[in-house]
């Protein structure tokens, strides 16, 4: 029997618990599987780590050695290993257990330039990476050896995800094409393609949008492709959009719009084991949206626009917590803006931590 | 108060090509902007002298604001540096953003100014302010650089319009660019690189009939001119003469004539196609060619935006520099690529950069300009200029000098009012001049 939205809200309405301000900004934050640690990739090439198990977050030494932006991080599902990738093409594996960090391996030139996303196979033995160099690569997580690579996209590959069966991999590119790869076979071409090109627009000279995220439902039956339905380039606007494919047939069965044009990109998505999606959006500075909704519902059962520019959402294995990366308010403005000391200040990334469900009295 | 005696109406020019009919109305309307202005030179001999030379200008206008940090002045691995790497150029020690690989190989032919500090952070005022050189306010509207060059140097021997603009979207006659110089010096814009509509003589009219109509129009115009100020009648005549010239030069717009190799090198995208047409115009002898691209105002998704935009700019820009160099044209063509401002070092919540006139860059090449130089610098974070700052007035002086015009002495004559051709408190950027 289907749970009614009010009950879902009662059960999962997020309650603020802690807040961390990451300065300078970070691209995304991810919980360790146990939910004790939170790691965030920075615009300053650092991976910042906090112990969030206590009453107050405690910042631990960062992972250094990256360059540019640390744009993707993922924790091993069972070992205390964190994998991080940067915009200059490097992937690093680092053991962390709350104590001293131990580098395990790094591949400085895993990609030629910007690594967009990485993902781990469900058993943690393989790491997939995609980049602006057009490559999809598969790595051995134990030693960082390249196992296989595919170049079929021929353009900037923006997103990657393992199927829950661990046998297949999907990748999405800047022009809205999704490719399915068989990671078990010596096959250089894609198993099949799926069309998500409504997430792309050529606006004047600029290719706008692309498949910014890919997420499978826990049972692997659905593949969600997220981004924006672009209206224009430059100052990009458009409605945050999620195309949900029936993975078996490759047909789009649901198209979800998670906001208005000012909300723009669906930046991140978590498919909760309770059967609903958590989506976060970021668009016009100050505009940010969090939505909880089920595929079959017309409306979200929870939505909030309280947090400006939401860039990532993370939920640990036990599904009890949630971390959302945002940007400080008043982050934009033309021309010279100096702080009270006459310095040119940058922006920061407040990271809001939540637990689900109302606290019982 | 405007004097409507000087306004012509479409009916008065019924025999012309349809596209330029609209233009004529625009010209006359534009003339009212500078009512009473006779835009000339205090020293007419300068124009006569310069018209004999073959110096030309390619002005590449990146509308909206190219990020200096994602182009000519990268600050990799710094707080505001963004995700991209810097790559070496053909000049040791000089680096560009990795999204400019082709241009980086041509740095030995370029001159980069990294210390621009200008006055306006809005598009609405900034575009005109920059392209007019931001002179002191003397109660007149100064001409855009293209109009200024058209007035100061004339059309040259080609008989083609002195100031053409290859632009996305629609075309027409952009008389507003001319300011007080008068509408004749406005830009003839070719929308999407296409010639004015209805340029070709219809098959139903023979060449003899067309000539007869032309003579009739000239006779009517002559009578019309007797009752108008020369500014108006000159402008009208200019438009008709231009139309007839372009009728004879239709090949300038024939994209099918480009080799596949050229199409590949410049790119099939908008700026590549338009730059190729711009090359045609330069080769045909057009004095001032503006090629522009829209859509660079990346307040949101700046880095993905530049990752898409910059390689296309890079491809077209590098191709035209290579071609001008190979053809020996860099000796007499001044190339300038710029926007109305740069973009903020600070990265906003939309992962965009806003408008930043405080410290930004432009690139030049060609006649009168040193090769392989970088002038000025910004501080470590790229937030402010850390050398002598240059305003657009300095660049106007520099460009005039590169074209052989002494901007300290040459003046416009605005109906008896002498006006400097560039900001009188600025001077040329000597380090960049050959």
Once rounded to an integer, what is the mean pLDDT over residues A153-168? 97
Distance, CA of B250 to CA of A154 (rounded, Å): 38
B148: Cβ–Cβ under 8 A, 6 or more apart, which residues? B133, B142, B181, B185, B421
Contact A206 B348 (CB under 8 A): no
Q: Which chain A residues contact residue B381 at CB under 8 A? A: 344
**Minimal Cα distance from B306: which residue of A?**
A206
**Minimal Cα distance from A344: which residue of B?**
B383
Closest to B142 in 3D by CA, of B121, B155, B128: B128
Among A336-340, B204-208, B315-319, which range has the highest average pLDDT? B315-319
Distance, CA of B60 to CA of B63 (rounded, Å): 9
Confidence at B16, pLDDT banded by 50, 70, 90 = very low
Q: Poorest-confidence range of A85-94, B5-14, B329-338?
A: B5-14
Which of B76, B295, B355 shows the shortest C-beta gap to A335?
B355
Q: Which chain B residues contact residue A331 at CB under 8 A? A: 346, 348-349
The rounded percent of chain A whose pLDDT value lies above 70 is 99
Distance, CA of B47 to CA of B34 (rounded, Å): 21
What is residue A47's three-state secondary structure?
Answer: strand
Minimal CA separation from A194 to chain B, in Å? 23
- Residue pair A46/A61 in contact (Cβ under 8 Å)? The answer is no
The rounded percent of chain B whose pLDDT value lies above 70 is 87
Given a cut of 80, whether residue B20 has pLDDT beyond it is no
Query: How many beta-carbon contacts under 8 Å exist across A and B?
Result: 148
Q: What is the pLDDT of residues B293-337, one digit of tens each?
A: 999 999 999 999 999 999 999 999 999 999 999 999 999 999 999
Average pLDDT, rounded, for chain B: 87
Task: State whether the Cα torsion A325-A330-A336-A339 is positive or negative.
Answer: negative
Please indicate if any CB of chain B lies within 8 Å of the CB of A26: no
Q: Which chain B residues contact residue A67 at CB under 8 A? A: 76-77, 85
Contact B354 A334 (CB under 8 A): yes
Contact B64 A234 (CB under 8 A): yes
Q: What is the largest CA-CA distance in chain B?
A: 70
Chosen from B116, B297, B300 to mutate, greatest number of chain A CBs within 10 A: B300
Q: What is the pLDDT of residue A360?
A: 57
Q: Which residue has the tokens 């001159």?
A: B111
Residues 181-200, chain A, touching B (beta carbon < 8 A): none
Given a cut of 60, whether residue B134 has pLDDT beyond it is yes
Please indicate if any CB of chain B lies within 8 Å of the CB of A43: yes
Please indicate if any CB of chain B lies within 8 Å of the CB of A65: no
- Residue pair B271/B313 in contact (Cβ under 8 Å)? The answer is yes
Q: Taking the mean position of all CA atoms in its chain, how far away is CA A304?
A: 19
Contact A309 B347 (CB under 8 A): no
Q: ipTM > 0.95?
A: yes
Q: Which chain A residues contact residue B121 at CB under 8 A? A: 334-335
Q: What would the two tokens of residue A199 be?
A: 């997430």
Confidence at B239, pLDDT banded by 50, 70, 90 = confident
Q: What is the 3-state secondary structure (H, E, C) of A176-231?
A: CEEEEEECCCCCCCCCEEEECHHHEEEECCEEEECCCEEEECCCCCEEEEEEEEEE
Chosen from B98, B349, B355, B358 to mutate, greatest number of chain A CBs within 10 A: B349
Distance, CA of B17 to CA of B30 (rounded, Å): 20
Given a cut of 60, whether residue A164 has pLDDT beyond it is yes
What is residue A25's three-state secondary structure?
Answer: coil
Once rounded to an integer, what is the mean pLDDT over residues A97-112? 94
Once rounded to an integer, what is the mean pLDDT over residues B414-432? 96
Cα atoms in the 13 Å half-sphere on the side-chain side of B247 = 19
Residue B218 vs residue B374, higher pLDDT: B374
Q: Poorest-confidence range of A295-304, B19-28, B308-317?
A: B19-28
pTM summary value: 0.92
């Amino acid at each position: 029997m289907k749970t009614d939205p009010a009950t879902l809200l009662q059960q999962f309405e997020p309650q603020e618990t802690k807040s961390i301000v990451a300065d300078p900004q970070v691209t995304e934050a991810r919980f360790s599987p146990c939910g004790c640690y939170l790691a965030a990739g920075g615009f300053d090439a650092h991976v910042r780590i906090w112990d969030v198990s206590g009453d107050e977050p405690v910042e631990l030494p960062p992972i250094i050695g990256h360059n540019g932006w640390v744009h993707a991080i993922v924790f091993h599902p069972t070992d205390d290993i964190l994998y991080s990738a940067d915009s200059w093409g490097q992937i690093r594996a680092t053991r962390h257990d709350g104590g001293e960090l131990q580098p395990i391996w790094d591949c400085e030139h895993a990609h030629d330039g910007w690594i967009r996303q990485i993902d781990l196979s469900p058993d943690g033995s393989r790491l997939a990476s995609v980049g602006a160099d057009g490559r999809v690569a598969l790595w051995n997580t134990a030693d960082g050896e390249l196992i296989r690579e595919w170049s079929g996209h021929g353009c900037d590959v923006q997103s990657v995800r393992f199927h829950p069966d661990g046998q297949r991999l999907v990748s999405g590119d800047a022009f809205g094409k999704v490719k399915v790869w068989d990671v078990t076979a010596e096959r250089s071409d894609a198993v099949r393609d799926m069309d998500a090109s409504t997430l792309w627009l050529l606006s004047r000279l600029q290719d706008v949008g692309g498949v910014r995220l890919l997420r499978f439902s826990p049972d692997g039956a659905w593949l969600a492709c997220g981004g924006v339905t672009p209206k224009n380039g430059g100052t990009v606007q458009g409605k945050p959009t999620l195309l949900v494919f029936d993975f078996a047939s490759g047909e789009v069965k649901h198209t979800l719009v998670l906001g208005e044009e000012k909300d723009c990109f669906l930046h991140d998505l978590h498919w909760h084991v309770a059967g609903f999606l958590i989506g976060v959006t970021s668009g016009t500075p100050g505009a940010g949206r969090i939505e909880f909704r089920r595929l079959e519902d017309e409306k979200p059962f929870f939505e909030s626009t309280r947090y400006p520019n939401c860039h990532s959402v993370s939920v640990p294995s036990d599904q009890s917590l949630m971390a959302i990366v945002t940007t400080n308010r008043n982050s934009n403005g033309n021309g010279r803006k100096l702080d009270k000391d006459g310095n040119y200040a940058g922006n920061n990334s407040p990271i809001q931590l939540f637990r689900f469900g109302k606290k019982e009295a | 108060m405007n004097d409507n005696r000087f306004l012509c109406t479409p009916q008065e020019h019924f025999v012309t090509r349809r596209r330029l009919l609209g233009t004529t109305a625009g010209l006359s309307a534009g003339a009212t902007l500078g009512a009473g202005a006779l835009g000339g030179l205090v020293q007419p001999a300068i124009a006569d002298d310069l018209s004999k030379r073959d110096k030309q200008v390619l002005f590449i206008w990146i509308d909206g604001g190219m990020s200096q940090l994602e182009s000519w002045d990268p600050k990799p691995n710094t707080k505001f540096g963004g995700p991209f790497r810097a790559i070496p150029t053909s000049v040791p020690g000089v680096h560009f953003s990795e999204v400019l690989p082709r241009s980086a190989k041509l740095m030995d032919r370029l001159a980069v100014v990294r210390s621009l500090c200008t006055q306006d952070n809005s598009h609405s005022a900034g575009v005109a302010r920059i392209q007019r050189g931001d002179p002191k306010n003397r109660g007149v509207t100064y001409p855009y650089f293209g109009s200024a060059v058209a007035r100061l140097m004339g059309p040259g021997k080609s008989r083609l319009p002195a100031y053409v603009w290859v632009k996305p979207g629609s075309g027409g006659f952009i008389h507003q660019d001319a300011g007080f110089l008068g509408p004749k010096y406005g830009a003839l814009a070719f929308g999407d690189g296409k010639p004015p509509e209805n340029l070709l003589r219809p098959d139903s009219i023979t060449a003899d009939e067309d000539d007869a109509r032309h003579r009739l129009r000239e006779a009517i115009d002559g009578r019309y001119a007797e009752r108008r100020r020369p500014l108006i009648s000159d402008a009208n005549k200019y438009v008709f003469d231009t139309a007839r010239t372009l009728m004879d030069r239709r090949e300038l717009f024939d994209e099918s004539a480009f080799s596949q190799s050229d199409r590949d090198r410049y790119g099939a995208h908008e700026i590549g196609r338009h730059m190729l047409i711009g090359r045609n115009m330069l080769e045909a002898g057009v004095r001032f060619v503006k090629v522009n691209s829209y859509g660079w105002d990346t307040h949101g998704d700046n880095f993905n935006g530049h990752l898409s935009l910059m390689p296309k700019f890079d491809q077209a820009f590098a191709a035209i520099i290579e071609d001008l160099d190979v053809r020996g044209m860099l000796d007499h063509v001044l190339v300038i690529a710029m926007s109305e401002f740069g973009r903020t070092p600070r990265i906003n919540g939309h992962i965009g950069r806003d408008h930043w006139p405080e410290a930004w860059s432009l690139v030049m090449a060609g006649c009168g300009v040193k090769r392989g130089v970088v002038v000025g610098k910004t501080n470590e974070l790229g937030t402010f200029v850390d050398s002598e700052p240059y305003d657009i007035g300095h660049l106007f002086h520099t460009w005039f000098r590169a074209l052989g015009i002494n901007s300290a002495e040459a003046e416009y004559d605005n109906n008896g009012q002498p006006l400097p051709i560039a900001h009188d408190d600025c001077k040329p950027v000597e380090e960049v001049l050959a």
